[in-house]
Structure 1
Amino acid sequence: MIRLFEKNATTFTSNGINVLNNLIKAISKEILNGLYSAEFEAIYDTTGKWKEIIEGRIIHADGQPFRIYKTRKGMTSLYVYTRHVFWDLVYNEVRDIRPTNKGAQAALEDVLGAANYLHPFTAFSDISTPATQYFINRNVTDCIMGNDSIISKWNGELKLDGWLISILSQRGLDSGVTISYRKNILDVEVTEDYDALVTRIRPKGKDGLELPEVYVDSPYVSSYVFPRIKEVEFDIGIDEETTEEEAITQLRAAAASYFIDSKCDLPVTNIKVDMLNLENTEEYRNFKYLVKVELGDTVTCRHLDLGIDHKSRIISIEKDLLLGRTSKVEIGDFKERMSGSITKISDTQKVLAQTVERNNSDLSAAILNATTLLTNALGGYVLKRNGEILIMDTDDPATAQKIWRWNINGLGYSSSGINGNFPIAITNDGRINASFVTTGELSANIVKTGILQSANGSSWINLADGTFSLGAGRVTNNDIRYTGTSIEQALNGKADMSTVEDINQYYKFDDVIGLTIGDNNSNLKINITNQQMNFKDGEATVAYINGQIMYIKSVQVLDSMVVGNHKVEKYDANITLVRWIG
């Protein structure tokens, strides 16, 4: 049951404002040490429930509270975007706190307790290893999971449950699930990176110590076309307490352990499984047990082409909250993604806080502003030290807050001290980071963006979901001109209105399942997605075309068929002939 609650709700035992039974889409997605969000689509119901779904209120779904941060009105329904209430802490700030020689739970409690204003969040951690971290002028979420955060310092993994924030040594369990896959498999996206693969090492100890046999092979060395060799140095050698024979034995054992610890003999693999698309295919039997796994769980991946078994973790899970089931699973080598999540939220915060007009007058104003700032600067301190130049608001890097830092890796500005963050930067890998860019003419090969919007906000194109609005609903392109607020208005008086009814009768469009063609009253339909064409009888897929190949469960040929240069044909009721036809 999915329910709507007021903005200040902290308990969710009642039905709240409304039970949202007008939803036609409810999808949540959680990334390990990353964003936890949910998106909903509510139809414009006659009771007006959709009008209650407004920014700031909380939707409680799958046992978790999600804060609404954006809504978008479509033609027939309201699109609702939410994040777990944990991200409320993006707007709260820690002024100056230094958890010293403490475990992760105590550090988390210190940060939560130092927040600028009260909140309902509590802390838990099973990591008792002491450490020290300094936080100054940072939002609470960034302190917990950003760069130089509690998670990175104490090497933990984030788990959210309502108002409880847990930082665990590791999420999930070894689920006991084994999946078998090939690199080229229908309806499963498998990415493999062999670039860093090593299957034969030449271990090297102190003072040039090497093994008599020189090399140590991975158990998987024969699984690849040729061995991949690398020298690996170990802090092992001959000394007063270690003979040459003992040192060689230790070096050999260390080399064997290197493959186990580093997994360098396995390709870096990422597997994305769409459970809903997969369930009607033959390959589903190899993946069906993934519906039981949870985020952070470990599964055994069996590579059928290489004959290799290896352990990987569930790093992302997407759930269909209306069906109450897992819809997508991502399996791979865990990579920390915290900073990306916070960057996205900070960008959203800026968009919600202000509307910025990017036109020629803005460029002139920006040039004037920069000229005024640079020509009227007073004070400041310049320090040249080994390898870099610092420009600061005090004469001591330890106390400076506003600081420009320039070294071999780039140039950046921080308003929170020598160790950043640096939201404005030019780095030596060719990247420029800035929260606001004013320009006259932009020339680029590729522009990656979310929303393109006119200066007055009347027209926009959302490149993420493909929706757009052009002025007052006008699309003009030579022979095409449409003006109005609906297709029905455009056709009124110019076409038979039954045309619209015919479209609804035989064609259905859906963001998830694609285009479906067929009479509403018939079980026989054709479904077209970005991956394949399906021929369906009711809910069953009886045949499909994928990769220029047609797959069909059974075929009945009445008279004849041609296969290459041969013809198979019925001769009489008892005899079938195969003959060459050239």
Structure 2
Amino acid sequence: MIRLFKNNEADFSHNETVLSEVISCKVTEEINEDYTMELEYPLEDTKNISSNLVTASIISTPTIDRRDNQQFRIIQKETNSNSISVQSQSKLLADLKENRIRAMTIVGKTRKEAIQIILDNALDPHNYKVGDLDTNTNTNVILEVKEGNLLSAIIGLENSVLSEYGGEFIVSNDTIDIVDQRGEDNGVVIEYGKNISSIKETIDNTDLATVLIPRSGDYRLHEYCMESPNVNKYEKRYFKEVDLNLNIWDGKSEKGEGQITLSEAYKIMRDTCNKMFIEDKVDQLKFNYSIDFIELSKTEEYKNYKILETVHLGDTVYVKHKKLNLDLQGRVNKISYTVDSEGITSIDKIEIGFSRQSITDIINSTIKSIQFTEQNILLQVSSLDNTLTSKIEMTAEQIQSTVTDTKNQLQSQITQTAGSLTSAITDTKNNLQSQITQQAGQIQTTVSDLNGAKSQITQLNNQISSKVDEGDISSLIEQNAEAVTIAIHNQTDMNVTFDSSGQTIQNGAFKIKDKNGNIVMWVRSDGVVMVKDLYFDNAAFSKTSNLSSALANMEGITLSNLGIGNRLTIHDSDFYIYYNGEGGYDLNDYVRTVAYKLLQDKGLV
């Protein structure tokens, strides 16, 4: 059934106003063109609802394909003495045409993502969204959206998603998709043999090409030209030149960026011609059949074309042309169908044909595609005085964006590859630069000046290290789960490691200071320990202590002066005395030998 809704309706599931007295209703849709509906209704209808057929109201009608009932917004109304006629357009197309968007640049997005970005940046909020039909993953596109309406930004002739990505759009109520190609190939075949008044035929051989002559400057293929598989199906050969203007390396000087070898150029020439035959079909006549099914149904030939009532927009149809002895391949480019008051649809007119760009446009598009693939993309914007410049450069290997301020001698740059992301800021005036480099297994940050001073932090999944360099001196801190190492690179190459066993110092000395900054203990680089003062508690003097054991086992000790507090207790055999270089005596021998002789010499014994 055909239903009428208010201009601001959000719920289209109810049947509050059903147009049950429709005089005529015709829906027309054309590939990458408009999607419209014309309706005529009695001025004096029995339900007195014709007065509600006003501009901006919404009419919902059944479809002939798999889409749900489609919504159309009334954009024009005409009244005569007996009826009201309204012209309406797909609600989405009509509404997006009235919405606005600011100028913007979309880089590195898929076709589907680009549509959603445009919809998200509308000045007037809405409920329209991109659908899920598009599976194209191409992101090698830079789209310069101009200030204007949303519809032009999506499906306009220039600077739109459709013009830059290509494809065919599909509207279904609140969603819009752009796909590579609408319709299906179900093997539908018809024969055209004689003129029928209800079928209008147009045949055009403009820009027909069955032999292509590719060249680039003075370079030609060894075989000179490429022939179409269909070259013998026509009364003569149709020649066209294809000038590709490739950047070919001469093989003598140094190969420049973006240049290709001669063998690569020959391959591109052959591939391009084959593509023009197979995909662009420059070897096929342009044709169009406009079929009026209302008139055709009254003829005997209707049975030969009845299968066309099952096709949908974009479907492939094969035409066996008996007079030209050609097998033509076309598509359903336009469909009109009628809807009665009960909601029953029937085909009104179908246009089947094959059309393409002019041969010049095909060649230009091909050249653009080759240059886009073989070289790089550069987008650059500069201020009027050329002191500020921002640019994005894309190649197959990387994307690089740069912003330069020549007046203040500043530059920032981001470089992205499949395996790394690097951002850098350079201040030439102050000789400073900072950089962050990120890979899957590492992040590294660096700050440096152009005089050689540099600090750097490197983070791995199991280690962090930081380093500072200046001249011939550097310091390093390296940390993992088990240890922290501090190193200084100068004349000594000293390093300190903290781990579960404690602190280890290599190739250097260390000092301990008190709270006043006085050195109280230090270790020289030769391993000698220096102590300003030393205190032992009572436990250290125990006979079982390590100190007592160390002192007891020393071979000797030399003291300038030894003072005894209360008493010195020592075994006489351990008290060893040197006398006049005569050797050593224990205390007992010294008394009996030396002391006794001294007393004897004095006459005391």
**TM-score normalised per structure 1:** 0.52
Query: How far did residue 230 of structure 1 move?
Result: 3.5
With over 3 angstroms needed to count, the CA separation of the structure-2 counterparts of 1:158 and 1:200, relative to structure 1, is closer
2:199 aligns with 188
With over 3 angstroms needed to count, the CA separation of the structure-2 counterparts of 1:66 and 1:238, relative to structure 1, is closer
Q: Is contact 1:236–1:251 with CA below 8 Å preserved after alignment?
A: no
SS in structure 2 of the partner of residue 134 of structure 1: strand
Radius of gyration: which is bigger?
2
Is 1:71 the counterpart of 2:68? The answer is no
2:135 aligns with 126
1:369 aligns with none
1:329 aligns with 350
1:104 aligns with 111
Counterpart AA for 2:81: M
2:281 aligns with 263
With over 3 angstroms needed to count, the CA separation of the structure-2 counterparts of 1:156 and 1:79, relative to structure 1, is same
With over 3 angstroms needed to count, the CA separation of the structure-2 counterparts of 1:211 and 1:181, relative to structure 1, is farther
Is 1:302 the counterpart of 2:309? The answer is no
Q: 2 CA distance for matches of 1:250 and 1:92?
A: 43
2:160 to 128, 149, 152: 149
Q: Is contact 1:179–1:302 with CA below 8 Å preserved after alignment?
A: yes
Q: 2 CA distance for matches of 1:53 and 1:290?
A: 34
CA distances 1:49-72 after superposition (whole Å, capped 9, x unpaired): 211211111110020011111111
Q: Is contact 1:127–1:154 with CA below 8 Å preserved after alignment?
A: no
Q: 2 CA distance for matches of 1:311 and 1:220?
A: 13
Counterpart AA for 1:68: I
Q: 1 CA distance for matches of 2:385 and 2:336?
A: 49
Q: Is contact 2:73–2:88 with CA below 8 Å preserved after alignment?
A: yes
Unaligned runs of 5+ in 2: 63-68, 252-259, 358-382, 389-605
Query: How far did residue 260 of structure 1 move?
Result: 2.7
SS in structure 1 of the partner of residue 186 of structure 2: strand
1:389 aligns with none
Q: Is contact 1:27–1:318 with CA below 8 Å preserved after alignment?
A: yes
Is 1:24 the counterpart of 2:23? The answer is yes
Query: How far did residue 194 of structure 1 move?
Result: 1.1
Query: How far did residue 81 of structure 1 move?
Result: 0.9
SS in structure 2 of the partner of residue 89 of structure 1: helix
CA distances 1:22-54 after superposition (whole Å, capped 9, x unpaired): 111000011111111100000131331211211
With over 3 angstroms needed to count, the CA separation of the structure-2 counterparts of 1:289 and 1:133, relative to structure 1, is same
Is 1:225 the counterpart of 2:232? The answer is no
Q: 2 CA distance for matches of 1:216 and 1:137?
A: 44
Query: How far did residue 242 of structure 1 move?
Result: 10
CA distances 1:515-563 after superposition (whole Å, capped 9, x unpaired): xxxxxxxxxxxxxxxxxxxxxxxxxxxxxxxxxxxxxxxxxxxxxxxxx
1:552-563 pair list within 5 angstroms: none
CA distances 1:332-379 after superposition (whole Å, capped 9, x unpaired): 23569xxxxxxxxxxxxxxxxxxxxxxxxxxxxxxxxxxxxxxxxxxx
Q: 2 CA distance for matches of 1:239 and 1:395?
A: 38
2:102 aligns with 95
Query: How far did residue 199 of structure 1 move?
Result: 2.8
Range 227-236 or range 41-50, more displaced:
227-236
CA distances 1:291-329 after superposition (whole Å, capped 9, x unpaired): 111112222222222222232222111111224022111
Q: 2 CA distance for matches of 1:277 and 1:332?
A: 20
1:140 aligns with 150
SS in structure 1 of the partner of residue 78 of structure 2: strand
Q: 1 CA distance for matches of 2:211 and 2:130?
A: 46
1:114 to 121, 131, 144: 121
Query: How far did residue 265 of structure 1 move?
Result: 2.2
Q: 2 CA distance for matches of 1:206 and 1:136?
A: 36
1:174 to 185, 188, 196: 185
Q: 1 CA distance for matches of 2:25 and 2:59?
A: 11
Query: How far did residue 204 of structure 1 move?
Result: 5.6
CA distances 1:165-196 after superposition (whole Å, capped 9, x unpaired): 11222211113211222484431111111121
With over 3 angstroms needed to count, the CA separation of the structure-2 counterparts of 1:136 and 1:253, relative to structure 1, is closer
Q: 1 CA distance for matches of 2:171 and 2:247?
A: 44
Q: 1 CA distance for matches of 2:90 and 2:265?
A: 54
Q: 1 CA distance for matches of 2:121 and 2:316?
A: 36
2:10 aligns with 10
Q: Is contact 1:22–1:49 with CA below 8 Å preserved after alignment?
A: no
Q: 2 CA distance for matches of 1:398 and 1:81?
A: 54
Q: 2 CA distance for matches of 1:251 and 1:333?
A: 25
Query: RMSD across aligned C-alpha pairs, in angstroms?
Result: 3.5
Q: Is contact 1:92–1:140 with CA below 8 Å preserved after alignment?
A: yes
Counterpart AA for 1:26: C
Q: 2 CA distance for matches of 1:37 and 1:397?
A: 49
Range 18-27 or range 165-174, more displaced:
165-174
Q: Is contact 2:286–2:355 with CA below 8 Å preserved after alignment?
A: no
Counterpart AA for 1:316: K
Is 1:35 the counterpart of 2:44? The answer is no
SS in structure 2 of the partner of residue 128 of structure 1: coil
Q: 1 CA distance for matches of 2:385 and 2:270?
A: 51
Query: How far did residue 198 of structure 1 move?
Result: 2.4
With over 3 angstroms needed to count, the CA separation of the structure-2 counterparts of 1:60 and 1:184, relative to structure 1, is same
Counterpart AA for 1:23: V
With over 3 angstroms needed to count, the CA separation of the structure-2 counterparts of 1:248 and 1:168, relative to structure 1, is closer
With over 3 angstroms needed to count, the CA separation of the structure-2 counterparts of 1:275 and 1:242, relative to structure 1, is same
With over 3 angstroms needed to count, the CA separation of the structure-2 counterparts of 1:82 and 1:150, relative to structure 1, is same
Q: Is contact 1:26–1:41 with CA below 8 Å preserved after alignment?
A: yes
Q: 1 CA distance for matches of 2:273 and 2:345?
A: 47
Query: How far did residue 395 of structure 1 move?
Result: 5.9
Counterpart AA for 1:324: T
1:200-279 pair list within 5 angstroms: 200-202=211-213, 209-210=220-221, 217-232=227-242, 258-279=276-297
1:293 aligns with 311
1:55 aligns with 55
Q: Is contact 1:315–1:334 with CA below 8 Å preserved after alignment?
A: no
With over 3 angstroms needed to count, the CA separation of the structure-2 counterparts of 1:184 and 1:267, relative to structure 1, is farther
Counterpart AA for 2:347: T
1:479 aligns with none
Q: 2 CA distance for matches of 1:77 and 1:7?
A: 21
With over 3 angstroms needed to count, the CA separation of the structure-2 counterparts of 1:142 and 1:282, relative to structure 1, is same
Q: 1 CA distance for matches of 2:13 and 2:302?
A: 38
Q: 2 CA distance for matches of 1:45 and 1:396?
A: 69
Q: 2 CA distance for matches of 1:97 and 1:251?
A: 36
- Count of matched residue positions in the alignment of Structure 1 and Structure 2: 339
Q: 1 CA distance for matches of 2:97 and 2:349?
A: 28
SS in structure 2 of the partner of residue 98 of structure 1: strand
1:161 aligns with 172
With over 3 angstroms needed to count, the CA separation of the structure-2 counterparts of 1:281 and 1:250, relative to structure 1, is same
SS in structure 2 of the partner of residue 301 of structure 1: strand
Q: Is contact 2:211–2:240 with CA below 8 Å preserved after alignment?
A: yes
Q: 1 CA distance for matches of 2:385 and 2:335?
A: 47
Query: How far did residue 85 of structure 1 move?
Result: 0.5
Percent identity reads: 30
With over 3 angstroms needed to count, the CA separation of the structure-2 counterparts of 1:116 and 1:47, relative to structure 1, is same
Counterpart AA for 1:74: N
With over 3 angstroms needed to count, the CA separation of the structure-2 counterparts of 1:20 and 1:199, relative to structure 1, is same
With over 3 angstroms needed to count, the CA separation of the structure-2 counterparts of 1:201 and 1:69, relative to structure 1, is closer
Query: How far did residue 252 of structure 1 move?
Result: 7.5
CA distances 1:548-579 after superposition (whole Å, capped 9, x unpaired): xxxxxxxxxxxxxxxxxxxxxxxxxxxxxxxx
Q: 2 CA distance for matches of 1:65 and 1:329?
A: 22
**TM-score normalised per structure 2:** 0.50
Q: 2 CA distance for matches of 1:398 and 1:73?
A: 62
1:399-548 pair list within 5 angstroms: none
